[in-house]
Structure 1
């Protein structure tokens, strides 16, 4: 038993060997652990970014404008009497449809009748006197055929008197014609076909210069079978406006959801110095009378832009605040994002802008450009959309 205990008891040499073995295993373990750490920290490939895209087309970019406008009658006039008189009869009322030349009211002025009678009497008297002097001159002229019977001075005096009476007849006739025209002014007629929109007199009223209502017209007449659509075009769009004859759609609040059409006919050819805009007019057929003069409207106009301009959504253009004109778009090519520098142009609408750059029809652009899709990154297209700009 004692001999066995001596055999298993650790000797100093065995103890030193055991400690060296443990130290070596620790060193080897630490080396193995250090060699495995770089393999664990190796980065994995980034997942492709999911983007929504659209394709450029060769359709020309247009600038869409929505401008306020106003409908006005094609013809409008306020009717005043030309002479002072009393209203005898009123033959129309507000809303009456009249034709050109139709009688609207009849006036009476006794002094004009007396003036006409005096003018007629003077004309008749002048004619009677002319008849006498002409007969006297003709007798003297026949008698003068016999030598020594009539003095040449008497014959010349008779001829001058006849010529003076002829001038008096012409003057009296002109006065009579003027009196007749004044009498015609006692009948108020429509200068064109249309609708009476205002009537401000009744029978017995004194009208005309110095009358009871000097500032108010007797009638207001409008022709609304064709309306004028007046639009103030801002200076920025005045140089790109439509050509005469172009159809222009518009809407009115009175008929929501309906679109009407006018035809561009005329423009002012100058800018207003107050609001810096050009006034243009469209003709709007209105035979059924649905549209009313005075209605406000919204005109929808698509104006052409530069030939090399490309219209894209504003969200597809990325620009930094310090350089808003120097922008970029993201083009998808062979499954990778490619940042393309472009120059921003005018804003076509709230969500569409013109850009200039190395772009071509068929290019596929990212609809939402951002720094989260860096240049060269793999992308996955979620859903391709047409150029819904």
Structure 2
């Protein structure tokens, strides 16, 4: 009997030992499995709240700019305005000597006097023949011929007068005048220079620009163009005035996308009464865009780049990975805005491993271990 009890006790000890060993091995296996699951940092996206800023380069141009050419041939007699000089509309900038034109005008005036003299003679003759016709001293045919000759001479007078007027108009162009108020930005002639009429390259004399207001041109990416409305304000920063901001107002939108750059040209207006800004300059234009509450912000470090496209790694309730394709609406560098595909309640893996795949089980870093954050 005593031996039987010892045997039973021995069997129980063996069974207990085997069971403990199995549990220990199972625990070790589970622990190894848990250690194999990567540890990740989980974040939650946020809705856009602050007004986003769009900073783009822009170029300045004069509000009005005109290149002044000569309308007559000759030699430059004098000039009275050099680069940087303020001018008023109609102010004389230079005077051209036109000896050939002067002689043509004198000849045309002489032709006019000759035509007037001939017309006066034919008018007197025509009146005489009208009187003779009244007394039947001449035929009606002869009287009509004298009257027709007088009318022809009148037409010649009109033509001669028109030629004189044309040459006098050309002679008025001997004085080169400013087309509007502004400043001289270039002078490309000097005293004694041969002047050729026309607007071919190399024939320009002066350039006049109105710089009291400037036009500011900016190429805006297509994805932002619809957010820029006429009348909205922008800030302009230029290298020549560090720390100083100039206010600009959007005046026009081209309404078309440039095929080569994928951008839309917009025009802004900048007040320049103090003359601090110069045409041809450049600067950075800062637009404050309206807030879009439908956009979700996430750090750029949460993006997953695959050959299939851009995606993010989200977590299910049981901490399994679910990759979701997304499309970036706005890229602000360290932060990107997503228009759809995620919600503020989603859990997103920040800095996901390159090897992460759909269905992977992960552990969440932090004191909560694998619990949902």
Q: Same fold (TM over 0.5)?
A: yes
Question: Larger deviation: 160-169 or 214-223?
Answer: 214-223
Map of 2:152 onto structure 1 = 164
Distance 2:142 2:85 in 1: 68
Matches within 5 A, 1:46-125: 56-57=46-47, 59=49, 65-125=54-114
**1:129 deviation in Å?**
2.1
| Residue of structure 2 equivalent to 1:5 | none
- 1:216, 1:52 → 2: CA distance? 70
CA gap of 1:271–1:324, structure 2 versus 1, over 3 A, is closer
Secondary structure of the structure 1 residue equivalent to 2:105: helix
1:345 equivalenced with 2:335 (yes/no): no
Mapped partners of 1:67, 1:126: distance in 2:
69
Distance, in Å, in 2 between the alignment partners of 1:32 and 1:238 is: 73
Q: Which residue pairs with 1:377 in the alignment?
A: 370
Residues 1:327 and 2:312 aligned together: yes
Instruction: State the TM-score, normalized to the length of structure 2.
Output: 0.75
Instruction: Select between 107-116 and 294-303 the one with higher mean Cα deviation.
Output: 294-303
Aligned match of 1:252: 238
Contact 2:310 2:325 in 1 (8 A): yes
Separation in 2, partners of 1:145, 1:94 = 74
CA offset at residue 95 of structure 1?
A: 0.6
Correspondence list, 1:1-389, <5 A: 56-57=46-47, 59=49, 65-146=54-135, 148-209=136-197, 215=202, 217-234=204-221, 236-237=222-223, 240=226, 242-272=228-258, 274-301=260-287, 308-317=294-303, 319=304, 321=306, 324-329=309-314, 342-346=324-328, 348-349=330-331, 350-351=333-334, 352-357=336-341, 359-360=343-344, 363=345, 368=350, 370=352, 373-374=363-364, 377-378=370-371
Kept in 1, the 8 Å contact 2:313–2:349? The answer is no
Say whether the 8 Å CA contact 2:43–2:349 is kept in structure 1: yes
Q: Which residue of 2 aligns with 1:384?
A: none
Aligned residues: 349
Question: 2: CA distance between counterparts of 1:272 and 1:230?
Answer: 14
Cα deviation for residue 175 of structure 1 reads 0.5
Question: 1:323 & 1:305 partners in 2: Cα distance?
Answer: 31
Contact 2:87 2:181 in 1 (8 A): yes
1:280–1:341: structure 2 CA closer, same or farther, 3 Å change rule?
same
Return the alpha-carbon distance in structure 1 between the equivalents of residues 235 and 342 of structure 2: 35
CA distance in 1 between partners of 2:167 and 2:192 (Å): 23
The aligned residue for residue 359 of structure 2 is none
- Using structure 1 for the length normalisation, give the TM-score: 0.72
The offset of 1:355, in angstroms, is 4.8
Does the 8 Å CA contact 1:233/1:277 hold for their aligned counterparts?
A: yes
Q: SS of the residue aligned with 2:270?
A: strand
Query: Which SS does the other structure have where 1:191 is aligned?
Result: coil
Say which is worse superposed, 278-287 or 97-106, in terms of deviation. Answer: 278-287
For structure 1, list consecutive stretches of 5 or more residues without a partner in the other structure: 1-16, 381-389
Task: Say which SS state the counterpart of residue 131 (structure 1) adopts.
Answer: helix
* C-alpha contact (below 8 Å) 1:316/1:365 kept by paired residues: no
In structure 2, what is the equivalent of residue 4 of structure 1? none
How far has the Cα of 1:102 moved from its partner? Answer: 0.8
Structure 1 residues 226 and 330, CA, compared in 2 at 3 Å: closer, same or farther?
farther
- CA separation of 1:50/1:238 partners in 2, compared to 1, >3 Å: closer, same or farther? closer
Q: Is the 8 A contact 2:313 2:348 kept in 1?
A: no
Contact 1:315 1:368 in 2 (8 A): yes
Contact 1:112 1:183 in 2 (8 A): yes
CA offsets, 1:249-298, max 9 Å, x none?
33222223333332233344445455454433222221111111121222
